[in-house]
Amino acid sequence: LCTGGSVTDLVQGLRSRGARLSNNQIAYILRETVQALVFLHENHCMHRDIKGHNILLTETGHVKLVDFGVSSHLAATMARRNTSVGTPYWMAPEVIACEQQLDQSYDSRCDVWSVGITAIELAEGDPPLCELHPMRALFQIPRNPPPKLSHPEQYSSMLSDFISECLVKDLEQRPFSKELVTHPFLKSVGPYVDQIRQDLRSEIARQREDGRAPSQAIATTKYGKLKSDRKSKPQKMYMDDLAALDVLTEDAIVEQLQKRYETNQIYTYIGDILIAVNPFSQVGLYTTQHQRKYTGQARSDNPPHIFAIADAAHQALVHQRQNQAIVISGESGSGKTESANLLLKQLVYLGKAVTKNLEERILQVNPIMEAFGNARTGINANSSRFGKYLELTMARSGKVNGARIFVYLLEQSRVVKQADGEGNFHVFYYMYDGLQAEGRLEEYYLHPSYRKTHRYLQETATLPKTNVDRWKQLLASFRVLGFKDDEVDMVNRVLAAILNLGDIEFGEMDSNDNTDTAWR
């Protein structure tokens, strides 16, 4: 009977009162665990789930390795397996790789990696990446450098060395369990075993008297499915990067995107491509906190996000000194306009300009471009009817020092004719309703009664009040960009002239009529 509980419970109990295991206690627990592994491996058995929860203590302070639910019997000492099973945070990179790469395999040294993670758990109370969802941890373990102690100065240097011995990502370079037995950290504890067991017995008794908090459920994975705890039903895992799929078909992609969308994961990678599924609602993914979260990070550090694309481009520009290009493409209503705005927002945030005014001027370009280039269509109330190429220029330090916009493919025919239920470019409605609210329509030869009769101003669902607000925002953007009042007035006159030209009607002139009444 192991009534002393698991070493995870022991560590958590110590941490709850600001204490921790001593170097000798950690060395003792690891020594006993490694000796158990040597016995298993010599008898051709891989445990495949080494962690603090499966290392139990007896009343006398002895250590037992338990729970062989996912262990595997091998035909020989060097035999291999290719089933991805275990508890995510403790799983070795080669075991995780078997989930997506059918030609991958591993041997008993996967348990050695788990011992290294358990060593960190014993010292710090939690395994590395424990703050992440288990699925995210599975993505990061193969990509990240081997974990280390967060505060190595608090522990013996031999413990750090032991951990680095265990956490060698290259399986072929990682030692076998029988080689770990001779590590100085484990050997040094020999003379103190009796005292350590006495200390552990005292701590067990103390925690039993104080009462232990129930252990948190631990997620496990097997055959490509994730169980949040032992009693839950296994759920298929859906990944951040679909390029890792064995079979990349349309059905597989759609299934992955749908399942991620149902959990509010609207972004998904396919290699260097970011797919965005428009939620048509606010999902709270673009706050200042998110901007900081996606600054100077590896792509695997966080869930897929358009800010991660901006950060990757900025890092490559600064560190590799190579120009970067980001192409945004998609169907009408897919969110291209909003994505472009968010991308620009993050790039300007990353490359903070020397002057705040420059940042504001760059960001205020988008409202102007949308006013003059976006319109209502049958399926999208704010459809971009143009293509644009925005060029940000940055100094070697990564600071934004300028921007240029090239506009092309403007749907000019929309000015003179729109399909039923569609509208002209937004700016015409903004200007008309804005001038009407200011009582200035007559300055531009426009009359309130013409609101429904101007040929180029078909009615749209946009309310006049909304147009007035956006007109004020447009004027504010003009001011930020340095437009003078007379220049804004000239823009208004050109727009008003276009509306008036649209009302001209032409007819055939009677040859005997010398008047100008044949046209108006």
Identify the sign of the CA torsion 196, 197, 200, 205. negative
246 catalytically annotated: no
Known binding residue 87? Answer is no
Burial label for 92, CB within 10 Å (0-12, 13-18, 19+), is: buried
Known binding residue 332? Answer is yes
How far is it, in rounded angstroms, from Cα 7 to Cα 345? Answer: 48
Known binding residue 337? Answer is yes
How far is it, in rounded angstroms, from Cα 31 to Cα 63? Answer: 9
Known binding residue 334? Answer is yes
How far is it, in rounded angstroms, from Cα 183 to Cα 164? Answer: 12
DSSP 150: S
Q: Give the list of residues 6+ apart from residue 206 with CB closer than 8 angstroms, or none.
A: none
- Cβ atoms of 237 and 91 within 8 Å: the answer is no
How far is it, in rounded angstroms, from Cα 103 to Cα 130? Answer: 29
- Strand duo 235-236 + 85-86: pairing: unpaired
Q: Give the list of residues 6+ apart from residue 465 with CB closer than 8 angstroms, or none.
A: none
How far is it, in rounded angstroms, from Cα 219 to Cα 334? Answer: 35
The encoded tokens of residue 207 equal 């925690």
The C-alpha R_g of the chain, in whole angstroms, comes to 33
Angle in degrees, CA 483, 338, 386, rounded to 5: 65
Compute the half-sphere exposure of residue 58: CA atoms within 13 Å on the CB side of its CA.
Answer: 9
Known binding residue 388? Answer is no
Q: Which residue has the tokens 């990564």?
A: 398
How far is it, in rounded angstroms, from Cα 420 to Cα 415? Answer: 14
Known binding residue 398? Answer is no
CA nearest 382: which of 344, 343, 430?
A: 430
Helix and strand element counts for the chain (H, E): 18, 15
Which of 9, 49, 107, 111 is labelled catalytic?
49
Sequence ranges of the binding site: 330-337
List the catalytic residues. Answer: 49
Sequence ranges of the binding site for ATP: 330-337
